[in-house]
Structure 1
Amino acid sequence: MTTRLSKLPSSLKTLTLAVGTATLLLACSPGQTKQTKAIHIDGSSTVYPITETIVKEYNAQTASNLDVKVNFSGTGGGFRKFCAGETDISNASRPILKAEIEACKKNNISYLELPVAFDALTIVVNPQNTWAQDITVAELKKLWEPQAEGQIKTWNQIRSSWPNQPINLYGPGKDSGTFDYFTAAIVGEEGASRSDYQASEDDEIIAQGVMNDPNGLGYFGY
């Protein structure tokens, strides 16, 4: 399968590969939020901008003194905090795992799941990249699989017609739901990935890395 690149936005050249669902999990445990003046939200960096916008609109339209704190530590990191009772809402870019469900049950935390958006898995390159107009799933697998670590270092190793220039990679860290989905869908095994790339749970850092690097390639939820 070959997927074509387009320029969206102009500071990045993007390629959409797949679509999932972004979800909010709201804690329903008795007493967890009733006695607090603050609501703590954490989790997916993909869902973070949506949640931040919701909070801003809520505060603008109400006279509530409620303090809502929004942060992101990746879907996995968010679920660890949520199931430990440290947060009230967990942002997620993948379904909650069986082990995470059990952790919530152990701590008497019940929840309500609310799908809020479609989450597109997006591959990005720098606009100065004039050669990569499309890329196949097989080529992405060759680039990101564990066996590629320290071995696949230049663009022409992915496609012979591409230049003999270094390829610099940017992507989510292991706590990210986008990392989980990408490795499962592209590499074929969840969690299987080369590790010699610049990893961050912050999508903005990934985007900025590629925007400042003509030889950069990265992925994040969009």
Structure 2
Amino acid sequence: MADDSIRDISRRKFIAASGTVGALTLAGCTQSNTGNGSDDGNGNGSGDGNGTGGGKLSGTIDIAGSSTVFPLATAMSEKFRQEHPDVKINIESTGSGGGFANHFCPGRTDFNNASRPIKKEEKAACEENGVNPVELKVATDALTVIVNNNADWVDSITVEELKEIWSADSPPKKWSDVNSDWPDQPLELYGPTDASGTYDYFIEAIIGEDGPGHRTDYSATEQDRTIIQGVQNSENAMGYLGFAYYSENTDAVKALGIDDGSGEPVKPSLETAKSGEYTPLARPLFTYPAKESLAEEHVAAFATFWIENSTSKEIVADQVGYVPLDDSEQQEQMDKLQSAIDEAGGN
């Protein structure tokens, strides 16, 4: 099992590095990163960067879950370990659902990252094992639909066309099956697995939870880099993934504007996600610490550090590629977190 450390992360190198971290065997195909405390001197957010602990912190924090939140969690862990180098943080990209089912709810990790809210059945499974998840919003993403740069026949797509392409109900085989102006060429599709929160959100926003479900005849992966590469290498390809990965590959693939029915397609960007124009694919991103883990000082300190820095343009937007929280959102999350820390008996 390979475990590539990410040092001195620039915004571009960071995403590239996180896409090449080796696979683990804990829950299918996963990524792993252990922070190394390197200092690139960028962005400390609105907090003091020291978390809740006033003394020297040490210990291990285990995090699983969303591949979409993975780059943000890694960036926050690197920043935190600049202040607390004796805290080891292990991060695995397992997909939101895979993280809940195989790691967090069984009590094997302290946090689960998610690109959609926890499901009722997941929460029940956690509680059966004495794990109480605390939902913390950490950013906003613009889920992005990408095509090959040579696909000059399409610059935007309607929600209805997306639904037709990705639906399990008589899924089209060729581009022309969807739109007669498009070429008579086979659709080649890339996307996340059904363990991914991105997959779940796409169903909710595009196909509909009461709809026929997501088609299965596509190349499914938890490696967002693989989605980029698949679309880059085929003129007939389409895929979808989180905005952070697209934002580091704007020369490699093309993002489609999304027409939600207004007749005016909107391109994904930090600005359109923040303004609410990019509908219906702008979505909140979460991390879920276990309340029980927050009783430990180093875990509470990291959770606090993350929320303190959730308004940081340097980290969240410039380094990773998501929309930071505003001050009122941050305060709401901080109040929720502090209440959980107090209930857990932490500092």
Q: TM-score normalized by structure 2?
A: 0.51
The one-letter code sitting in structure 2 at the alignment partner of 1:100 is: E
Compare the two structures and name the one with the higher helix fraction: 2
Partner of 1:62: 83
Partner of 1:204: 225
Partner of 2:151: 129
Q: List 4+ stretches of structure 1 deviating above 3 A.
A: none
Partner of 2:162: 140
Partner of 1:215: 236
Q: CA–CA distance in 2 between the matches of 1:48 and 1:161?
A: 38
**How far is 1:63 from its partner?**
4.4
Compare the two structures and name the one with the higher strand fraction: 1
SS of the aligned residue for 1:148 comes to coil
The one-letter code sitting in structure 2 at the alignment partner of 1:98 is: K
Partner of 1:108: 130
Residue 177 (structure 1) aligned with residue 189 (structure 2): no
The one-letter code sitting in structure 2 at the alignment partner of 1:77 is: G
Alignment of 1:157-196 (within 5 A): 157-189=177-209, 192-196=213-217
Q: CA–CA distance in 2 between the matches of 1:148 and 1:214?
A: 23
Query: Structure 1: which 5+ residue stretches go unaligned?
Result: 1-8, 10-35
What CA deviation, in whole Å up to 9, does each residue of 1:138-172 have, x standing for no partner?
111111111234xx111111110111111100011
**How far is 1:112 from its partner?**
2.4
Q: CA–CA distance in 1 between the matches of 2:107 and 2:203?
A: 29
Q: CA–CA distance in 2 between the matches of 1:58 and 1:133?
A: 40
What CA deviation, in whole Å up to 9, does each residue of 1:81-109 have, x standing for no partner?
11110111110011111111111111111
Q: CA–CA distance in 2 between the matches of 1:63 and 1:145?
A: 47
Contact 2:191/2:220 (CA < 8 Å) preserved in 1?
yes
Q: Percent of aligned positions with the same letter in both sequences?
A: 45
Contact 2:123/2:133 (CA < 8 Å) preserved in 1?
no
SS of the aligned residue for 1:146 comes to coil
Q: CA–CA distance in 1 between the matches of 2:202 and 2:133?
A: 26
Alignment of 1:150-161 (within 5 A): 152-161=172-181
What CA deviation, in whole Å up to 9, does each residue of 1:46-68 have, x standing for no partner?
00000111111222x22432211
SS of the aligned residue for 2:78 comes to helix
Partner of 1:75: 96
Q: CA–CA distance in 2 between the matches of 1:43 and 1:141?
A: 26
Partner of 1:118: 140
Residue 86 (structure 1) aligned with residue 105 (structure 2): no
Q: CA–CA distance in 1 between the matches of 2:231 and 2:178?
A: 18
Partner of 1:26: none
Query: Structure 2: which 5+ residue stretches go unaligned?
Result: 1-11, 13-57, 244-347
SS of the aligned residue for 1:181 comes to helix
